[in-house]
A and B are shown apart, each in its own frame.
Chain A
Amino acid sequence: MSMNQKELSEQIISMVGFNPRQCMKCGKCSATCPALEEMDIHPHHFASMVCEGRINELLESKTLFRCLSCFACVERCPRSVEPAKLIEAVRDCVIRAKGANFLSPDAVPGKLDPELPQQAITAAFRKYGK
Chain B
Amino acid sequence: MTYSYFPGCTLKTKAKELDSYGRKAAEALGVTLEELDDWQCCGAVYPMAKDEIATKLSSVRALNSAKQKSQPLVTICSACHHVIKLVNNDMKNDENIALRANNYLGFDEPYKGETEVIHYLEMLRDKIGFDTIKQKVVNPLKGRKIAAYYGCMLLRPSKEMQFDDPENPTIMEDFIRAIGAEPVEYAFRNECCGGYMTMNDKSLAQKAAGKVVASAKLKGADEIITACPLCLYNLKQNTDGSLPVTFFTELLAEALGVK
CB of A33, distance to nearest CB on chain B (Å):
9
Alpha-carbon distance A112/B114, docked complex (angstroms): 39
Size of chain B's interface in residues, with CB distance under 8 A?
46
User: Assuming A15-B51, A34-B208, A120-B233, is B198 touching A127 (CB within 8 A)?
Assistant: no
Please name all residues of chain A whose beta carbon is closer than 8 Å to the beta carbon of B48 when the two chains form the complex.
16, 69, 84-85, 88-89
CB of A107, distance to nearest CB on chain B (Å):
9
- Looking at chain A's contact residues, the main secondary structure is helix
Alpha-carbon distance A113/B155, docked complex (angstroms): 29
Whether A126 and B199, one on each chain, are in contact in the complex, defined by CB atoms closer than 8 angstroms, is no
A14 at the interface (CB under 8 A from B): yes
A119 at the interface (CB under 8 A from B): yes
Size of chain A's interface in residues, with CB distance under 8 A?
39
Please name all residues of chain B whose beta carbon is closer than 8 Å to the beta carbon of A119 when the two chains form the complex.
8-10, 44, 77, 79, 229-230
Whether A66 and B204, one on each chain, are in contact in the complex, defined by CB atoms closer than 8 angstroms, is yes
Whether A70 and B192, one on each chain, are in contact in the complex, defined by CB atoms closer than 8 angstroms, is yes
Write the B188-231 contact mask toward A (1 if CB under 8 angstroms, else 0): 00011011111111001001100100000000000000000110
Whether A124 and B10, one on each chain, are in contact in the complex, defined by CB atoms closer than 8 angstroms, is no
Closest A residue to B205 using CB positions:
A68
Whether B204 and A38, one on each chain, are in contact in the complex, defined by CB atoms closer than 8 angstroms, is yes
A128 at the interface (CB under 8 A from B): yes
A118 at the interface (CB under 8 A from B): yes
Please name all residues of chain A whose beta carbon is closer than 8 Å to the beta carbon of B201 when the two chains form the complex.
38, 66
Q: Which of A1-48 contact B (CB under 8 A)?
A: 14-17, 34-35, 38
User: Assuming A66-B204, A70-B156, A89-B48, is B229 touching A117 (CB within 8 A)?
Assistant: yes
B236 at the interface (CB under 8 A from A): yes
Q: Which of A87-130 contact B (CB under 8 A)?
A: 88-89, 92, 102-103, 111, 113, 115-124, 126-128
- Residues in A lying within 8 Å of B, measured CB to CB: 14-17, 34-35, 38, 65-66, 68-72, 74-75, 82, 84-85, 88-89, 92, 102-103, 111, 113, 115-124, 126-128
- Residues in B lying within 8 Å of A, measured CB to CB: 8-10, 13-15, 41, 43-45, 47-52, 55, 77, 79, 152-153, 155-158, 166, 191-192, 194-201, 204, 207-208, 211, 229-230, 232-233, 236-237
